[in-house]
Structures are given as C-alpha cells and as structure tokens.
C-alpha cells in the first residue's frame, strides 16, 4: 500500500490514532443523532441572545461537512510526525493548550471584528453619507466561524513547518530551461521553476482547508497561525504544561482504562485473588510516555532497517524517491 507519511500506519502514535477515530465517530454521531448545532459558533443569536458561552469550547470538537472531514482527517494523519517529535503526552497536552487558546482568542477576534466593522460602516456613513448615520448594529461576516479544529490544525501546521525537517527537495521546471550565454553552465530563470519539499502535501491540504469555508474558515486559521507563531517564538504561556497521565490513558485506550477503573472498585473476590496489575500498567505507560522522546531516533532507524529487511525489492517509486534523498 502506498505510504502517505514517513510513519507507517499509526505505529507508536496512539494519540493521533485516537484523534482520527474520535473525529470520525463524532462527525457520524452528530449527523445521525441530529446534534450538529452543538458545534456551531455564531455571535448573534447564540452568544448575544442566549449567552451560550459553552459553544466557545465545543465548536472546535467536530466538523460537520464531508470535505472538511477529509481534509482535517488527512492533516491529523500527517501530523503524526509531530506526535513522534514531542512524545504522546506532550503532543496531547499541546493540543489541549492550543484548543483553549484558539477557542478564546478566536472568539475575541470575531467579536472585535464584528464591532469594528460595524463602527467602520458607521464612520463611512458619517463621512460620505448624506444623512448623519446612526450607529446601528447588524451581523457581519465576522458573525460565525466554521466548526472544526481549524485553529488547532493551523497552530500545529506552523509547528510542523518549524520542527519537522525536510527529507528532500525537488524542483519542477515549468518551462523549458533557457540556455544563457554561458554555454558551460545551464542557468534556469528562477521564475519558471517550482521548488517543492516532502512537506508539499501538508501545505496543499492545509491551503484547501483554509479556503474550504470561505471567510468563516479563514478567520479561525488566521488566529491559529498567530498562536503558532507565538509558540514558535517561545512566548506562549502554558506550553510546558503536561496533562495528567490518567487522562492520556483514558484518551488513548478508553476500554482498558474503564476495565481497570471498574476492576479496582467492584472486583468480586471469588476463589482466587487476581494480581493487582494497575500499578504495573501505570508504570509501563509512564515509561512509554517518557521513553518516547528518546526512542524516536532509534525507532526510526530500527523501522528503516525493518522495512528494508521486509522488502528487499525496492519498488520503482521508492527508487525514484531515494534518488532524491541525499
């Protein structure tokens, strides 16, 4: 099967796997049970009239249309390398932090935008209008944002660009190379070529996501990019905060967590006593989380050799791509 990302499947990326599953199930559930309105954020009826501030935290939880679903799913899939880079626990913690930041900042952004736009119209009326305009409030394009984790993905997109190194660069010549006066050296005019890296898929998908809902998807993406910039410059508060491991375990493997939870409380001692495996599990998960960062390089190397060993015959595509890898 074709491999989209450097990491095979969801190997050692449990958080990304859970996120992809949750994204799918939530989107399906919301549409089957007809609860799509839960993830909509609109200033005018919801916030102003009904004071439903909980929507600040729900609107990023799920997308509600199919094309958004495909794009967000692919992006989460590509950002697996970020989970490998940060480690599972840090990655989930960062997503949580970005989620809160994006929710609140995006809300402030659209409120200010809406008020500013109204005021601007008022000023224009005042200056150019024949009658003295009254300051009247009406809904503008800032009224609503597209539901879905667009802000979080934008922030992660910036992280991805900053921390994940490129493995290769390739150039597509758009026109025939022009041979200049110096016949020894083929000079290509820089405007006629397209330089791409192995990140170009991510750029493409993100660009589509940015434009997918028009203005209402551009808004949260801008906010997300700003937050990502702050994170890159190390001036985002709370970026070193870590989630408790129990939450990580619940998120990564809810069934195991639940059985563990219930066995701890309602175990019936019949005949023989079971060994208490809870602590062992906790330790091993802890270890897994801690070891992740150190193991990344080793694992990559191991994986690489493993893949080589498994597939001694390299397909044509790999041969081509390997030719670019220096």
Partner 1 sequence: MSLDRQTLIFLIIMFIFLLLPNGADQPQSRAEREVLATYQKNIIEKRKIFRESEYYKGYGNLTGFELSYEDNLQNKNASNWPFREYTKEHPWKETAKDSILPNSVSDRVKEFWNKESIDTGDEESRAYLLNISGNAFGEFEIDKFSKELKPYNFGLPAFLENYFSWTRNDQKEIDSDRDNDYSHADSPSDNTNLSTIHKIGNISYSTGKVSISFSSSDYNFKDNTLKKFVKDDKSRVEDAVNIVADVSLEDSKEADQSHLPMYGIYFQDSGAIALTTFSAKFMGRLAFPHLVFNEKNFNRAKILTEQYINATESPKDIGIDMMSERLSSAVQSCEYVGYIQLDKTQYSKSQLREIDNELIHSQGIPLPGSLPRINITDALFYSPDCGISLSMNHKTEFSGNKVTVTERQFKKILNIFSCMLIAQLILFIKQIKDAKTPGQLSNISYSTLNLIAFQDALLGISFLLLSSFTRSLYLIISCITVLTFILCGIFEMRFLVSVKMNQVNEQGTTWWEILRGSGSNEPSSDSTNGNQNEAGPNNDTNPGELPPPVTAARPQPNVVGVNDEARYSNGVFVTGFALSIITTFFLINVRTWRFSYRRAFEFFGFVFINSYWVPQFFRNTLKNRRQAFSWPFVYGTSALRLLPILYLALYSENPFRHHYDPALAATVSIWVLVQLSLLHLQEMYGARFWINEKWLPKAYDYHPLLQVSDVEHHYVSDILASIKSQPYDPTKASVLQAKVDCSICMSEVTVPLLSNLAAQKLLSTADKLHQQKYMVTPCHHIFHTDCLEDWLSYKLQCPVCRSALPPV
* Interface contacts to partner 1, rule CB under 8 A: 31-35, 37-38, 40, 45-46, 50, 52, 55
**CB of 128 or CB of 266, closer to partner 1:** 266
Q: Shortest Cβ distance from residue 323 to partner 1 (Å)?
A: 48
Identify any residues that bridge with 193 across adjacent strands, giving them in sequence order: 173
CA–CA distance, 69 with 132 (Å, rounded to integer):
47
157-183 in b/e burial notation, b at 16+ Cβ within 10 A? bbbbbeebeeeeeeeeeeeeeeeeeee
**CB of 268 or CB of 323, closer to partner 1:** 268
**CB of 35 or CB of 324, closer to partner 1:** 35
**CB of 96 or CB of 139, closer to partner 1:** 139
What DSSP element (H or E) covers 159? Answer: helix 150-163
Q: Shortest Cβ distance from residue 66 to partner 1 (Å)?
A: 15
Q: Shortest Cβ distance from residue 35 to partner 1 (Å)?
A: 8
Concatenated DSSP letters of 253-301: -HHHHHHHHHHHHH---BSBPPP--HHHHHHHHHHHHHHHHHHHHHHHH
Q: Shortest Cβ distance from residue 136 to partner 1 (Å)?
A: 21
Helix (H, G, I), strand (E, B) or coil at 42: strand
Q: Shortest Cβ distance from residue 266 to partner 1 (Å)?
A: 11
Altogether, the residues listed in the chain come to a count of: 326
CB count in 10 Å sphere of residue 322? 11
Contact 264, 191 (CB under 8 A): no
Residue 96 buriedness (CB in 10 A; 0-12 / 13-18 / 19+): middle
């Amino acid at each position: 099967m074709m491999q989209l990302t450097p990491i095979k499947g969801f190997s050692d990326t449990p958080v990304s796997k859970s996120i992809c599953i949750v994204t799918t199930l939530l989107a399906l559930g919301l549409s089957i049970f007809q609860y799509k309105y839960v993830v909509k954020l609109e200033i005018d009826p919801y916030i102003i009239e009904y004071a439903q501030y909980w929507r600040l935290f729900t609107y990023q939880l799920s997308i509600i249309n199919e094309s958004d679903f495909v794009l967000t799913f692919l992006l989460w899939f590509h950002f697996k390398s970020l989970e490998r880079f940060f480690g599972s626990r840090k990655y989930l913690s960062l997503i949580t932090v970005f989620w809160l930041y994006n929710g609140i900042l995006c809300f402030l952004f659209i409120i200010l935008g809406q008020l500013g736009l109204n005021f601007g119209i008022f000023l224009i009326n005042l200056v150019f209008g024949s009658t003295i305009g009254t300051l009247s409030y009406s809904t503008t394009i800032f009224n609503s944002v597209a539901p879905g984790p667009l802000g979080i993905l934008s922030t992660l997109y910036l992280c991805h660009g900053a921390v994940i190194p490129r493995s290769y660069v390739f150039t597509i010549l758009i026109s025939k190379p022009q041979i200049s006066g110096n016949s020894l050296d083929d000079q290509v005019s820089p405007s006629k070529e397209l330089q791409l890296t192995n990140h170009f898929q991510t750029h493409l998908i993100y660009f589509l996501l940015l434009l997918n809902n028009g203005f209402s998807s551009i808004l949260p993406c801008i906010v997300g990019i700003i937050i990502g910039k702050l994170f890159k410059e190390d001036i985002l508060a709370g970026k070193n905060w870590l989630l408790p491991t129990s939450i990580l375990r619940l998120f990564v493997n809810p069934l195991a967590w639940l059985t563990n939870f219930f066995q701890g409380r309602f175990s019936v001692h019949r005949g023989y006593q079971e060994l208490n495996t809870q602590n062992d599990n906790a330790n091993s998960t802890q270890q897994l989380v801690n070891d992740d960062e150190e193991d990344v390089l080793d694992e990559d190397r191991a994986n690489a050799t493993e893949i080589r060993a498994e597939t001694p015959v390299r397909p044509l595509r790999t041969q081509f791509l390997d030719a670019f890898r220096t």
